[in-house]
Structure formats: structure tokens, C-alpha cells
Amino acid sequence: MNSAILGTGSYVPTRVLTNADLERMVDTSDTWIVERTGIRERRLVAPGQACSDLALQAAQRALLAANVKACDIDLILLATCTGDAPLPSTACLLQHQLGATRAAACDISAACCGFVYALSIADAYIKTGMRHVLVVASEVMSAITDWTDRNTCVLFGDGAGAVVLGQGSQHSGILSTHLHANGRLPEMIHVPGGGSREPASKEVLDNKRCFIKMKGNETFKIAVKSMEEAAHEAADANGVAMADIDVFIPHQANMRILKAVSQRLGLGQEKLMINLDKFGNTSAASIPLALDEAVLSQKVQKGQLVLLAAFGAGLTWASALVRW
Ligand code: COA
């Protein structure tokens, strides 16, 4: 039996940061951002709003859609690189806020691939007998963004997405997941300070070591190749032709990356789910955020083949094929 996605949910904070706002903060322009990234605006948390607050909203919506009560969740996996604090896990905070008293809970750290990694782990637990797993991806990227660095600050946004996994049938649900990592290139995308290597200090703060640094151009090329490879792997493992994919939901990093990947896969624009124009790159949250929008707008319909592909820091890359 496959595990099935019983319900989806998402949440974004209400505060909108437009490209025009960014023009007033760094040396950039709406034209440059739209042409180079496809992003028009992104959402930012309100002061005091944290990762678990976004996760709670998304999780509650997913539980409602799945018609599953919080007390019936066995496990909560929360994918994030921007948790409320280093300790305890944000998943435990969410467990309490939801009242999911029976659920085990832990965070998953796989950057932008976090959701697909967590989905894969959840799938394995359901296949071995667990009844309900809540997978949430929630990110407050604004907390690790250097708002004076035009190379990165135009790219990221805050948001959360969630799915509830349960027992499915033999021919529908999660057909496969594939996960990859290559730790040889950690500096491609990283936050160098604030961990045990460079603990939080005035120096770390002064040198902006607690903010995200990225080699954008090199990352771009690897992202396209890796997502293409992961997508093919998903199709091949299931004996499915790329033409049979109905909806392609890639990690929302950059419009040019999404278009290049779907073009290489031979997937038409009508099959590609895009919402990064509204939310930017929300790291682990981007796929479940886009998936929930696709479900609510009925772009994803029962019986369809949905392909998820992600790429991120680590480096990590991953895919999942779902029969809806
Ligand atoms: N506004 C205006 N100019 C900017 C800018 C901004 N916000 N950011 C960078 N530039 C400038 C650069 O300084 C550079 O100027 P120079 O030629 O005078 O040095 C020029 O634009 C081109 O920079 P480059 O980095 O080559 O641009 P690019 O076409 O690669 O686009 C990214 C930059 C970051 C948008 C793009 O590389 C990207 O999206 N990469 C992938 C990032 C990603 O998805 N990472 C996460 C994966 S999970």
C-alpha cells in the first residue's frame, strides 16, 4: 500500500515586501529582479512572529482538509532551517500548540529539500504501519537574510506549507521518493556563523556571518542539472514517460531555473506550477506552498500524476512522484 496525501494546507504572513520596497533598501530595480528571478513580491513575518507560528496555521489547515484530528497524529516532521530557536525543536513547539499530544516530533534539516526529505521519511513510516504523519515545512528566511546584500535579499520570503499523510491504496498516493546529497560544496549556499563552528558573538554579527551567503551563478547551473536528474529518476523508477506527468511542482527558486528545468524535461508551461512571483524562495516551504495552491485552484485533480523536484543547500536534491 502507498501512503496518501490526505490533505494540504499553507500559510503566508500578511506583510508584503514588493520589488519597489527593495529599490528603496538596496541598489536594485524591479526590472532587474523580475527579469533575473521572476519574483515580484514576497511575504515577511510581523515582529515577534516565528517559524512555529506559520507552521501552526499551515498545519491546522492541512488537518482540516484531511479531516484528521490533532490527537490522531502519530508523528510530526517539521522541515526548516529557520526554527524558532536551536533548542528545542520547532516540531515540539508545534506539537504543543496543535494539541497533538500522542505525536512524536522532530525537525528535519535539508534546506530547500526539507519538505521532500520529510515526505520521504513520513512515507516510510506510513508504509511500516504508522497511521497519520503531519509533514510541515515552515521558514522565516527574513531572519537569516542580510537586508543590505542585493545578491540575496531580493530572493527570499517567509511562509509555510503542510500535508497530512495516511494509508492510501496500491495505485495512488506517493509512488516514489528519491533523495540525494553532496556535501563537497557547502559554501554554495550557507549561513557560516551562529552554530558550533562560529558561535553567536558580536564578531559574527558585525561580520554578518549569521546571514545567508550564496554563489548565485554557480548554484543556478547545479540547480537546473540536479532537478532535471531527480525528475528523470522519479519517472524512470515508475516506468512513466515524462509526457504522462500532469503537474510539475519544482522548488520555487528562480523563474529561469523553473523554465529551464521544465524545458529540458519537455514539460509544457501549462504543467508547471509557479507561485514564486508572489512569495519568492521560501526554502523548504516552497513546494508545499505551491502544492496547496495547486490543490485549492484545482490545477491538481484526482488521478493526476504530480511530480515534485527540489534542490538546495548541502547540496541536496530530491524528487517525489505522487498519483493524486
Ligand atoms: N539588483 C541588481 N543587480 C544585481 C542584483 C540585484 N538584486 N544582484 C546581483 N546583481 C548584479 C551583480 O552584482 C552582477 O553585477 P556585475 O556584473 O557588475 O558584477 C550582475 O547583477 C550579474 O550577477 P549574476 O550573479 O551573474 O546574476 P545572475 O543572472 O546569476 O542572477 C541570481 C543572480 C542570484 C538571481 C541567480 O544566479 C540565481 O537565482 N541563482 C540561483 C539561486 C538559488 O536559487 N539559490 C537557492 C537554491 S535553493
Query: Per-domain residue ranges for the chain?
Result: 3-169, 175-323
d(CA 66, CA 214): 37
pTM of the model: 0.97
Q: Tell me how long the chain is.
A: 324
Q: Is 192 in the pocket of ligand 1 (CB under 6 A)?
A: no
The confidence score (pLDDT) of residue 172 equals 87
The protein residue whose alpha carbon is closest to atom 31 in ligand 1 is: 36
Task: Answer yes or no: same fold for 3-169 and 175-323.
Answer: yes
Q: Is 285 in the pocket of ligand 1 (CB under 6 A)?
A: no
Q: Is 10 helix (H, G, I), strand (E, B) or coil?
A: strand
Do 209 and 193 form a contact (C-beta atoms < 8 A)?
yes
Q: Which CATH class is domain 175-323?
A: alpha beta
The confidence score (pLDDT) of residue 153 equals 98
Do 251 and 286 form a contact (C-beta atoms < 8 A)?
yes
The confidence score (pLDDT) of residue 171 equals 83
Query: From the alpha carbon of 151, which atom of ligand 1 is closest?
Result: 8
**Bridge partners (DSSP) listed for residue 133:** 75, 165
Q: Is 296 in the pocket of ligand 1 (CB under 6 A)?
A: no
Between the alpha carbon of residue 18 and those of residues 10, 29, 144, 161, 278, the distances in Å are: 21, 11, 19, 22, 9
The confidence score (pLDDT) of residue 170 equals 82
The DSSP H or E segment spanning 258 is helix 255-265
Between the alpha carbon of residue 95 and those of residues 86, 98, 143, 187, 264, the distances in Å are: 16, 5, 23, 33, 41
Query: From the alpha carbon of 223, which atom of ligand 1 is closest?
Result: 47
Task: Quick: pLDDT tens for 46-76.
Answer: 999 999 999 999 999 999 999 999 999 999 9
3-169 carries CATH number 3.50.50.60: no
Query: From the alpha carbon of 313, which atom of ligand 1 is closest?
Result: 48
> Per residue of the chain (324 residues), what is the pLDDT tens digit?
899 999 999 999 999 999 999 999 999 999 999 999 999 999 999 999 999 999 999 999 999 999 999 999 999 999 999 999 999 999 999 999 999 999 999 999 999 999 999 999 999 999 999 999 999 999 999 999 999 999 999 999 999 999 999 998 888 899 999 999 999 999 999 999 999 999 999 999 999 999 999 998 999 999 999 999 999 999 999 999 999 999 999 999 999 999 999 999 999 999 999 999 999 999 999 999 999 999 999 999 999 999 999 999 999 999 999 999
The protein residue whose alpha carbon is closest to atom 1 in ligand 1 is: 28
Crossing angle of helices 286-296 and 51-66, rounded to 10°: 40
The confidence score (pLDDT) of residue 207 equals 96
Cell of 284: 523548504
The protein residue whose alpha carbon is closest to atom 19 in ligand 1 is: 151
Q: Where do the H-state alpha helices sit in 75-187?
A: 90-98, 114-127, 150-153
Q: Is 214 in the pocket of ligand 1 (CB under 6 A)?
A: yes
The protein residue whose alpha carbon is closest to atom 28 in ligand 1 is: 217
Which residues are tagged catalytic?
112, 251, 281
Q: Is 286 in the pocket of ligand 1 (CB under 6 A)?
A: no
Q: Is 151 in the pocket of ligand 1 (CB under 6 A)?
A: yes
Q: What's the gap in Å between 216 CA and the centre of ligand 1?
A: 6
CA nearest 253: which of 138, 157, 118?
A: 157
Q: Is 109 in the pocket of ligand 1 (CB under 6 A)?
A: no
